[in-house]
Structure 1
Amino acid sequence: MNIAKILDPQAIKVVGKMTSKKRLFQDLGEIAASAYGLSENGTVDALQARESLGPTGVGHGIALPHARIEGLERVVGAFMRLESPMDFDAVDRQPVDLVFALFAPAESGVDHLKALALVSRTMRDNDICAKLRANNDPATLHAILTEGPAIKAA
């Protein structure tokens, strides 16, 4: 599995300022709807439901919101770079500026976990994060993310 199979080039957005987590999830829902044909409202609801279980801000300015979506056939992702970091209730209490959302089929078991592990490992790479923070072009951001590490299927 690699990020190129998860992240469509159309699912990347750079945003100047985000006012709230709810607004962020709405933007992610819009991206998921346009890039993958998902229900915008269903996606937002699923992200909010998962976030209510515990914040997905993993620290170091990174958030990995994720949700299971009925009717989805494969794991897909959306990436947003925020030019102005926002409060996300992250574990280290630092504001977030890199957001990689994952959407998985409702019954996706191990594929969802593998994708989450892959994205988590990629986003823990300080060099990748520095490159992401230094670029505003969605095509460049996609190239940076898809050059990251891959994991072998079990």
Structure 2
Amino acid sequence: MTLQDILTLDCTQCAVPVQSKKRLLEQICLLAAKQLGTANSTDLLDSLLDREKMGSTGIGNGIAIPHGRLNNTDKAIAVFLTTQQAIDFDAIDNQPVDIFICLFVPENSTQEHLETLQSIAKLFSDRKTAKQVRKCVNQQEMFNLIQQAT
């Protein structure tokens, strides 16, 4: 599964005005809960925070891929957003992060989870992609960019 398969326009946001890691993760969970309909944003946040305790999902170059597991669903979901200003996210390169691709997958979909994370990391391994995302001025432009990426 790729990011293009599970990302919707409703879960894409550009230049979100958050100042901290916790507020950012809360914003992501609100979007995801609204899209899923059955999930509680607090449960989603707990899932992300549990994963972050194991080590930051900030992969470097201003990019983070927070991810968590979902109970009682067979649907994977992605949330893609940028922040107005880069925030401290404890990334592996100690640089602030402004591009966030969040992934929630069903509890029992381990292989699918790993494959989707790998496809996201591959997509953003090309610095050109991140540069293009940072130039986007609205959510439609960001969504279209990801849908057209190979």
TM-score bin (small chain):
over 0.9
Structure 1 runs (4+) deviating above 6 angstroms are none
Paired position in structure 1 for 2:31: 31
How many Å separate the matches in 2 of 1:31 and 1:95?
22
Percent identical: 30
RMSD, aligned α-carbons: 1.2
Q: In the TM superposition, what whole-angstrom CA distance separates every residue of 1:88-120 from its partner, at most 9, and x where no partner exists? A: 000000100000000010011110011100111
Q: Gapped runs of 5+ residues in structure 1?
A: 150-154
Paired position in structure 2 for 1:117: 118
Question: Which structure has the highest helix share of the two?
Answer: 2
Structure 1 counterpart of 2:30, one-letter code: E
Partner SS, residue 78 of structure 2:
strand
Paired position in structure 2 for 1:76: 77
Contact 2:16-2:81 at 8 Å conserved across structures = no
1:130 deviation in Å? 1.0
1:139 deviation in Å? 1.0
Number of aligned pairs?
Answer: 149
Q: Where in structure 2 are the equivalents of 1:9-20 lying within 5 Å?
A: 9-20=9-20
Q: In the TM superposition, what whole-angstrom CA distance separates every residue of 1:25-59 from its partner, at most 9, and x where no partner exists? A: 10001110122223211111100111011100000
Structure 2 counterpart of 1:36, one-letter code: L
Paired position in structure 1 for 2:136: 135
1:16 deviation in Å? 4.3
How many Å separate the matches in 2 of 1:123 and 1:146?
13
Partner SS, residue 136 of structure 1:
coil
1:136 deviation in Å? 2.1
How many Å separate the matches in 1 of 2:135 and 2:60?
19
Structure 1 counterpart of 2:27, one-letter code: D
Partner SS, residue 97 of structure 1:
strand
How many Å separate the matches in 2 of 1:65 and 1:82?
15
Q: In the TM superposition, what whole-angstrom CA distance separates every residue of 1:51-76 from its partner, at most 9, and x where no partner exists? A: 01110000000000000110121321
Structure 1 counterpart of 2:8, one-letter code: D
